[in-house]
C-alpha cells in the first residue's frame, strides 16, 4: 500500500521511470504546447478575437454618447415602449447600454460592414449574449468595452442577458438586426 506509506527508496527521485510514463508525458507536453500555440496563433491568423480596448466610464457620460447616436441615426421605433432602432453608418461608434432590465437602443447593422460596438452596464454586471450566433461578452459597470464587430450573416438576432442581474433578469432580452 505504498501510496499511503512513505516511499521505500529514500532516494525516490532517482528511480527510473517506466517507458509508458515517459512516452505519455512527451505526448501530453506536445499537445499542451500545440494548444498554447493555437491560442496565440489565432490572434495572428484568426478572425474572432475579443478586443481588450477599455475605458473607464460612468453612467452619465455613456448615456450622453448613446443619446447622441440615437438622435442622429434613429430610423424607427419598436414595441410599446417605443425603443429606438438605430442604423449607424459603417465604421462608426455604436453604443449599447445594459441596465436593469433592458438593452438600449435596438441596433440595425449591415452585413460584412465593421462597427465599433461600445458596451457598458449602468448598474450591475450584465451579460451580452448574442443569439443564435452565441457570442458572449461580460458587461461590467464602470468600464466601456469597445469591441470591433463584423456581422457575417443577415437576420434578426437576439441579445439575451446571461449574467444574473436580479429578479427580472429573464425579461432582459432585446433584438439586433443585420441587413
Partner 1 sequence: MSTTTTYRTCPRSGLQFEGQAELLMKVNAVAAVVFLLIGGILAVGVVLTRWPAVHWLEADTFYQVLTAHGIDMLIFWIIFFEMAVLYFCASTLLRCRLATPRMAWLAFALMLIGAVTNNVAVYQGGSSVMMTSYVPMMAAPAFYLGLILFAVGALIGCFVFFGTLVVAKRDKTYQGSVPLVTFGAITACIIAVFTITSGAIILIPTFLMSVGVVKEVDPLVYRTIWWAFGHSSQQINVAAHISIWYAIAAIAFGAKPMSERVSRGAFLLYILFLQLASAHHLLADPGLSTAWKVVNTSYFMYFAVLASMIHGLTIPGAIEVAQRQKGYTKGLFEWLRKAPWGNPVFSGMFISLIGFGFLGGISGVMMGTEQLNMIIHNTIYVPGHFHATVVVGTSLSFMALTYFLIPVLFRREMINPGLAKLQPYLFGLSMYFFCLVMMGAGTLGVSRRHWDMAFSGAAMAYEWPGAAYLMMGLVGIAGIAAIGGGAIYIYITVGSLLWGRKLDSGARSAKFTPIPPTAPSAAVQGYGSMGFAAPGTFMLAMVFLVAFVLYYFINWKYLSTLWGLS
Number of residues that bind partner 1 (CB under 8 A): 93
Instruction: Provide the minimum distance between the beta carbon of 78 and partner 1 in the complex, in angstroms, as a whole number.
Output: 8
Rounded Cα–Cα distance for residues 156 and 173 (Å): 13
Residue 35 CB partners (closer than 8 Å, separation 6+): none
Taking residues 59 to 88 in sequence order and writing x for each that binds partner 1 by CB under 8 A, - otherwise, the string is -------------------xxxx-------
| Range in contact with partner 1 (rule: CB under 8 A) among 5-13, 59-67, 68-76, 89-97 | 5-13
Instruction: Provide the minimum distance between the beta carbon of 106 and partner 1 in the complex, in angstroms, as a whole number.
Output: 8
Cell of 4: 499511503
Taking residues 100 to 129 in sequence order and writing x for each that binds partner 1 by CB under 8 A, - otherwise, the string is --------------x----x---xxx-x-x
Select the residue interacting with partner 1 from 15, 72, 90, 154 (CB under 8 A).
Answer: 15
* 33 forms part of the interface with partner 1 (CB under 8 A): yes
Candidates 177, 46, 15, 56; CA nearest to 110 is: 177
Measured from the CB atom, the residue of 74 and 158 that comes closer to partner 1 is 158
Rounded Cα–Cα distance for residues 110 and 133 (Å): 15
Select the residue interacting with partner 1 from 32, 61, 64, 154 (CB under 8 A).
Answer: 32
* 51 forms part of the interface with partner 1 (CB under 8 A): yes
Rounded Cα–Cα distance for residues 30 and 44 (Å): 21
Query: Is residue 145 within 8 Å of residue 118, measured between CB atoms?
Result: yes
Candidates 63, 65, 121; CA nearest to 93 is: 65
Amino acid at each position: 500500500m505504498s501510496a499511503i506509506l512513505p516511499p521505500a527508496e529514500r532516494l525516490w527521485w532517482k528511480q527510473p521511470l517506466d517507458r509508458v510514463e515517459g512516452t505519455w508525458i512527451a505526448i501530453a507536453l506536445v499537445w499542451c504546447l500545440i494548444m498554447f500555440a493555437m491560442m496565440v496563433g489565432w490572434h495572428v491568423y484568426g478572425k474572432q478575437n475579443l478586443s481588450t480596448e477599455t475605458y473607464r466610464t460612468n453612467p452619465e457620460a455613456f448615456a450622453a454618447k448613446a443619446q447622441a447616436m440615437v438622435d442622429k441615426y434613429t430610423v424607427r421605433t419598436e414595441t410599446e415602449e417605443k425603443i429606438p432602432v438605430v442604423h449607424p453608418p459603417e465604421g462608426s461608434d455604436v453604443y449599447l447600454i445594459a441596465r436593469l432590465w433592458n438593452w438600449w437602443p435596438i441596433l440595425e447593422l449591415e452585413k460584412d460592414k465593421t462597427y465599433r460596438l461600445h458596451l457598458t452596464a449602468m448598474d450591475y454586471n450584465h451579460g451580452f449574449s448574442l443569439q443564435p450566433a452565441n457570442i458572449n461578452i461580460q458587461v461590467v459597470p464602470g468600464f466601456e468595452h469597445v469591441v470591433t464587430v463584423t456581422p457575417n450573416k443577415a437576420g434578426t438576432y437576439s441579445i439575451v442577458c446571461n449574467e444574473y442581474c436580479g429578479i427580472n433578469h429573464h425579461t432582459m432580452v432585446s433584438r439586433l438586426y443585420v441587413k
